[in-house]
Amino acid sequence: MAALGSPLRTLRGLLRELRHASGRAGRPYRDTPAYQHIVAAFRAHRVTSEKLCRAQQELHFQAATYLCLLRSVREHAALHREYHGKGERSPEEVAGLVGFRLPQQPGGKG
């Protein structure tokens, strides 16, 4: 298993993904129930000098997994918008998508 990193980095990543998701909604991301739940969960499971929270690693792992899901969904949507079928494409356009150029015919035809 890969290292999780710091919980603060995971929290910041989650909040960044919430900003991306709520940017389309038109309302501030700090007003969403998801933001309030995430911040409350991280505050409730932090390590203090008075107690050691046993569930901190579990919360951190779940948060990192959820962050991976949110990033993957956002990146998938971006790829889907870019490459989803837009109807019939010409051979030149298809070749350009994959980085090729069609050969030119001799005599200037094509």
For the segment 41-60, what is each residue's pLDDT rounded down to a tens digit?
A: 888 877 665 565 566 678 88
The stretch 60-69 carries a mean pLDDT of 90
Q: Are 14 and 67 in contact (CB under 8 A)?
A: yes
Strands (E), 1-110: none
Distance CA 15, CA 21 (A): 10
What are the structure tokens assigned to 74, written together? 């956002």
The stretch 26-33 carries a mean pLDDT of 81
- Pick the range with the lowest mean pLDDT from 38-42, 82-86, 101-105: 82-86
Domain locations in the chain? 7-98
Q: Say if residue 108's pLDDT is above 70.
A: no
